[in-house]
Structures are given as C-alpha cells and as structure tokens.
Structure 1
C-alpha cells in the first residue's frame, strides 16, 4: 500500500511556486535558473542531470545543472554523453519509480552522491525524458519522490523546449537548410540501406544518392554515414515528415 503524503503549508507554497515558474520556461538559461531556484527550494540537491531521448531511444540532449563548484572529472562521470552515470542509470532504470540501484552503489558512494532521486517518463510521442537528482542532503523519503513525481510533467516540457530550441539554433547555423531529398536519403541511411538500395527505393541511381550524400556531409560538417546520422539526430532532422517516393521493399 502506498504511503499517504500530506504536504505542509510551506511545501504547498513551494510546489505551487515551482509549477508557476516552470510554465514560461523556453530556453536553457531559464531552465537552469528554475532548477537552481524553485526546484532547489522544494528538492535540495547538488547536481541534476536531465536527458532527452528520441523515439528510437537515442540520446538527443543532456543538461547538467549544479548548485556547487563541480570538478570537471566529476561532471564528466555524471553527465558524459557516451557512458556517464546518468545515462547508464536511465538505460538501466527507465521510468521506474523505485529502481534497483545495487549495481551503481559503489560508484555512487565513491562520488559522494549516494542520496539521489530518479524519475523518467514512459515512452511518449517525440521521445522520453529522464532526470537524476544527485547529492540530496539526506536519504530521500517518500514525500521527496512524490514531489518529483508531481513536477515530472513540468520538467519534461521544459527539457523538450530546451532541446528543441537548441536543435533549431544549430540547424539555423547551417549554410543552407537540408533539402527534402537530402533528409529523405538520410532517413534511409539511418535504416541501414546502401546507396544502391536507397536508389531503388527512390527511383534514382546509386551514384546520384552518393552525390547527394557528399553534399550533405559537407553541409553537416561530417565525414561518414555514422557521423551524419548522429548529426541528424542532434538537429532533429528525423522528426521532419518525409514524402517517400517509393515503398521500401
């Protein structure tokens, strides 16, 4: 049976203030100020790592906000995009409210971050988000998990806006927009199709596909297919609807 959580008057005020302050969040600066202000007042912590995933569970965006001077090595161990602790926790725990953290306890103790809160959304259209609050002053109680649960929709919306805003900024910095044909070809590259297979799908030659890819590489500043896919994910190019000119076999 779940424990009933009754909020004090002060906690109710902090919660309402955190919700009201979260509604207008639009960029990374506003989001970080919110995490270190209204959210910090309700859920004191040293470091919060926020992860935004795409529809195929690829990591799109990561934010790390902290209320302390954070050593670069510790920052990297917590928030590295490839194998940081927050990412590994997200892969391991998903959206579970009470995840099993036994595999990570040694590392958490070593970092002095064993008091933590974790919460993630379920799979949603456009992707999921996951949040880790490291370095709480005391072992979290059910009421702290309840606060985070109540604020999860606002954390999710805020991070989605931040990730989308930064992706649009990066896309605007390109020398020109990615064409519909280039986006379509990149889609099939991500699906693992060869140039010849893409040509058959789109009704063009493999050489034409290769030429499109070379122009796309130069535009994105990459040198191979894997880097182009990663850059496309960062720019959210795969979110755009593509008009397929032929059915995939």
Structure 2
C-alpha cells in the first residue's frame, strides 16, 4: 500500500479510535498511560514496545521512556533507549532531520527508499523487524516522537494512518504527564552527590560492578545506593531512573567527583 493511498476506516475501527481517544483524556499518571497503551491503543496498533521521546530546542532530548508488555533484557533496553546513542533516539533524529514522518518498514525493508535504510541491519540484529515511527515534527521546543516496535505483522500505510489519527492524543498526553512530573518534582530529600554520580554512570550503561570500580566502592554498595535512589525517585528499574533523572534535570551538570569512599 502506498503512502498516499486512501484509507477508509471500518465501523469497528472508528469505534476503536473513538474509544482510544476518550480513554486517554483522564490519564494523569504513567501507570494509567501504560494501561492505556496496553488496552485501547493495542486495538488499533498492536505492538510489544512503545518508546516515547520529547525533544526541546536544538533537538535536545528531554525525556525518553519505554512501555513494554514483555520482559526485556537490560542490555537490549539500554541499546534501544540510551539517551546518547540509543537506537530509538537515532531513528527519531534521522526521521526528524529528513522530515520522514510517519515512517515504517514494510516487507522487503523500509517503506520506500529512505535515509533510514541504514538502520535495517541493526533493527534485525536486535529483533526489532517491525516498527512504525511518528512525531509532531519540529516546533518551538515541545516535540514528541513515538516508536512502536514488534508489531505482529509488517506495518503498512494503514497502520501509519491510524498512528497519524492518534498522534495528537499521544502528543498531548505525554506533554501532560511530563509537565505534571516536573511540577511534582519535589522529592522527600535532595538527591545526594553520590547518588547523582552513580546515576550518571547508570546512564552511561555501566553495571554495578563497573561503577564500583570507577568510584572505588563495592558493587553491593552501588546496589544499595541505587535501591535508596529508586525509592526516592519512585521508580523500579534503571531505565525509569534515567527517565526520572532527566525529568528532574539531574544530568544538566556532570556530578562533582567524590572521594573514593562509600
């Protein structure tokens, strides 16, 4: 199916679309957003993983989060969602630079010949053969991009059209959640210098043992610091801790080096 082919929604698809839009209106928390992505969104766009990104002026990544229905290996999640060189971030920037929105991979490769063809081998190596990407383009600094990975079948222009219809809902919902998170950014206590330093190295993809070697402490001590940090930030894993740290602007300045002590 070509990009410009006429897409006519069936009555059932129209009902799914209306339900998805209405169900997103009361979403105020990330848990609700996750449940929405696993329910109403799946009816039109079934997928295993959705990566949500927000970019500010100068194409600076302000937020990245992954919602997934399956347990993912930590290294795979890092390779997809790393804020510096993750596959999702590179795909989003490439698509935004070339204004290829939406973009998806059909049977035999990406839809049409595009500068994103160079990602085909990497997508295949990571087991992410089917994806569709959409975003609101470049604005004054509140740009969002969404990536759906591992659709059960090769995406087509029909999937891209559904995505276009739902994009305003996705965009406004993500901005609303991020704004609320920023407003509720007051923590019970400040993040300590040690915790900031450890979170910095977590963002760089280092393991607990590797961070311990860098800081001159044990991997167990790093784990204990991380557990306290998770409780403080209200998160449950490394990826969410990085996303929360970005929302709280904990990475704006590199952490000051500490002495080699716990």
> Could you state the TM-score of these two structures normalised by the residue count of structure 1?
0.67
Task: Confirm whether residue 28 of structure 1 aligns to residue 30 of structure 2.
Answer: yes
CA distance in 1, matches of 2:91, 2:15: 31
Alignment counterpart, residue 173 of structure 1, candidates 163, 180, 187: 187
Is contact 1:60-1:163 (8 Å) kept? no
Shift of 1:125: 3.5
Task: Confirm whether residue 144 of structure 1 aligns to residue 146 of structure 2.
Answer: no
Q: State the partner residue of 1:97.
A: 101
Which has the higher mean CA deviation after the structures are superposed, 65-74 or 141-150? 65-74
CA distances 1:186-234 after superposition (whole Å, capped 9, x unpaired): xxxxxxxxxxxxxxxxxxxxxxxxxxxxxxxxxxxxxxxxxxxxx9974
Is contact 1:168-1:235 (8 Å) kept? no
Which has the higher mean CA deviation after the structures are superposed, 121-130 or 34-43? 121-130
Is contact 1:117-1:140 (8 Å) kept? yes
Q: Secondary structure at the match of 2:85?
A: coil
Is contact 2:48-2:70 (8 Å) kept? yes
Shift of 1:82: 1.7
Q: Secondary structure at the match of 1:48?
A: strand
Shift of 1:169: 2.4
Q: State the partner residue of 2:131.
A: 116
Structure 1 stretches of 4+ moved >4 Å: none
Which has the higher mean CA deviation after the structures are superposed, 160-169 or 83-92? 160-169
Q: Secondary structure at the match of 1:155?
A: helix
Is contact 2:54-2:61 (8 Å) kept? yes
> What pairs with 1:78-93 in structure 2 (closer than 5 Å)?
78-93=80-95
> What pairs with 1:1-249 in structure 2 (closer than 5 Å)?
2-94=4-96, 95-99=99-103, 100=114, 101-170=116-185, 172-173=186-187, 234-235=247-248
Cα 1:232–1:38 change in 2 (3 A) is closer
CA distance in 2, matches of 1:19, 1:98: 19
CA distances 1:107-149 after superposition (whole Å, capped 9, x unpaired): 1111121210000112234420001000011111111000000
Cα 1:48–1:233 change in 2 (3 A) is closer
Q: Secondary structure at the match of 1:149?
A: helix
Is contact 1:108-1:114 (8 Å) kept? yes
CA distances 1:75-111 after superposition (whole Å, capped 9, x unpaired): 1111111211110011111152254221110011111
Cα 1:113–1:232 change in 2 (3 A) is closer
Q: Which runs of 5+ in 1 are unaligned?
A: 177-230, 238-249
Is contact 2:178-2:247 (8 Å) kept? no
CA distance in 2, matches of 1:234, 1:8: 40
